[in-house]
Structure 1
Amino acid sequence: MSAESKGAPCWADGTFGDLEGAKRFYGELLGWTYGDSLPEYGNYTQAYADGKAVAALSPPPPGQEAPSAWCLYLATPDAAATAAQVREHGGKVLVEPMRIGDFGTMVLAADPGGVVFGVWQADAHKGFEAQAVPGAYTWAEVFTRDPAKADAFFPAVFGYGVKHVDDDAIDFSLYDLGADPLLGRMKMGDEFPSEVPAHLNVYFCVEDCDAVVEKATSLGGQLRYGPMTMPFGRFASLTDPQGAAFSVIDPTTTGGEMPKVIDVS
């Protein structure tokens, strides 16, 4: 999925009990088209925006029940070494390094606060063929009830610098590799019901946030937050008809002042 720097977001896929239903929903919402499902890889189905690979959908493994959810993968040159670092710094390896044909090697892991994420060592599959264009991945945030552990774990494993947003109203950090931020980290407050687990929230780029929200709800999705305009764009958080959380953002519609950040690396 990616030959990018270690820790760079490089791929996203979703697991859905109703694969065909998920394909219809995201196809209508984001304009995705799909490649052939691959039965030898659990009917893994790649999604395309304007002919570029941007994500994939699949059913859960046979005999397993799993809640519908999106997973973000972070790049690594050595999946086994990264799995060892996950354990060393208090995380859990949920799926040991697994070779996927000639595509690459994957790991599934969780941070000490329970945020599940993927790790990808690329071979033939280099990852996103497009980002930050309509229908493609553009951003993600670690939603956690234990921000101190997240702010220690992810930089220790992936080498991120950490900048904290100077705002008493939120507890929010930015992770980077020396340039632009790659991920955000948000503390989950009382507004999140106890049954909502810690998670990585994936954002997809859209041309008109409000129109996409209206479309999503007409297709059976639920609006969780927004639409709201901020300095980075107009965004909304949604849940699809199968319960998978995701967000959409129109980066061309902006407002407000850029936040002040403090380097706490």
Structure 2
Amino acid sequence: MKQTSVTTNAPCWVELGTDDPAAARDFYAELFGWRPESGVRPEDGGYTQMFLGEAAAAAVTPRYAPQQPTAWTVAIAVADADATAARADAAGGKVRKEPTDVSDLGRFSVVADPSGAVLILWQARAFAGAGVFNEPGSLGWVELATRDAAGARAFYPAVFGWSVAQSEHYTQWGLDGQDFGGMVVMDDGFPPEVAPHWLPYFSVADVDNTVGRAVAMGADVLMPAYSMPGRRIAVLRDAQGAPFGVYTDGGEA
């Protein structure tokens, strides 16, 4: 069963940190049909939510620190940001930002797993997260790329209670019967300077068409479109340098 709404201890949101938020907003609005809605309060600091129809789908933000990469960051819904951050620390991760309130919207923390892959912990108050999942133009899958698969298989179940489904070539994450992510092992195909990271995949109506339109707008193809059982996927890098995936259900069986 696919994730269709915000679920505690599962992905709930994604946000892009970039040096050119205006260009990123234009790119993703054209590619996915998103509508930008910038914050009106000074403390929002350029944070822009992107809507798919009337549902919040993602956000685009400036980079807030020199060491912050131009990249998408995945947020996990948690019941208690402080307790989850403490579990992450106890399981061998690192708390990059201590739990902090965001006005009345919620409380968040930034943590890294033992290999350095970063996640946001989001304890919702007024804002729960994305209002749409697994529909064209919305988040549908998240994938960890790491050089420490064994460490990840120990860390994420300990922190979030995730199930682990292991096949010959792929590890899949789930929770209460919902499948929402997976893991790939970073081999020689990944340049050594590429750090472990989480990659969001967005649902689209047609992967090949989406790839063609993205390239026409300045994106690069990191992984050409190909079919796998039940799904067709591709990985792109936007003009600012942030990788992301796209997929369409119904690939070759």
Does the pair score TM above 0.5? yes
1:49 counterpart residue number: 52
Matched, 1:210 2:212: no
C-alpha distance after superposition, 1:102-126 (max 9, x if no partner):
0000111110011111110000001
C-alpha distance after superposition, 1:61-120 (max 9, x if no partner):
2x6353210011111110000010011000011111010010000111110011111110
CA distance in 2, matches of 1:232, 1:7: 25
2:135 to 130, 133, 136: 133
CA distance in 2, matches of 1:86, 1:43: 29
Question: Displacement, 1:180?
Answer: 2.7
The answer (yes or no) to whether the contact 1:49–1:134 under 8 Å persists in 2 is no
Distance 1:26-1:5 versus aligned 2 partners, 3 A rule: closer
Extract structure 1 runs of 4+ deviating beyond 4 A: none
2:111 counterpart residue number: 109
1:144 to 143, 146, 156: 146
Counting matched residue pairs gives 248
77-86 or 228-237, which deviates more: 228-237
CA distance in 1, matches of 2:175, 2:203: 22
- Identity rate, percent: 38
The answer (yes or no) to whether the contact 1:207–1:250 under 8 Å persists in 2 is yes
2:36 to 23, 34, 37: 34
Distance 1:138-1:28 versus aligned 2 partners, 3 A rule: same
2:184 to 183, 186, 190: 186
2:252 counterpart residue number: 255
CA distance in 1, matches of 2:56, 2:74: 15
C-alpha distance after superposition, 1:228-263 (max 9, x if no partner):
111231110011111101000111x3212xxxxxxx
The answer (yes or no) to whether the contact 2:75–2:119 under 8 Å persists in 1 is yes
Is there any run of 5+ residues in structure 2 with no aligned partner, and where? none
The answer (yes or no) to whether the contact 2:75–2:120 under 8 Å persists in 1 is yes
2:173 counterpart residue number: 175
1:155 is aligned with what amino acid?
A: P
Question: Displacement, 1:163?
Answer: 1.1
1:228 is aligned with what amino acid?
A: Y
CA distance in 2, matches of 1:232, 1:195: 32
1:226 counterpart residue number: 224
| Other structure's SS at 2:192 match | coil
Question: Displacement, 1:6?
Answer: 3.2
1:122 counterpart residue number: 124
| Other structure's SS at 1:28 match | helix
CA distance in 2, matches of 1:229, 1:136: 20
Is there any run of 5+ residues in structure 1 with no aligned partner, and where? 257-265
Distance 1:204-1:5 versus aligned 2 partners, 3 A rule: closer
2:202 is aligned with what amino acid?
A: F
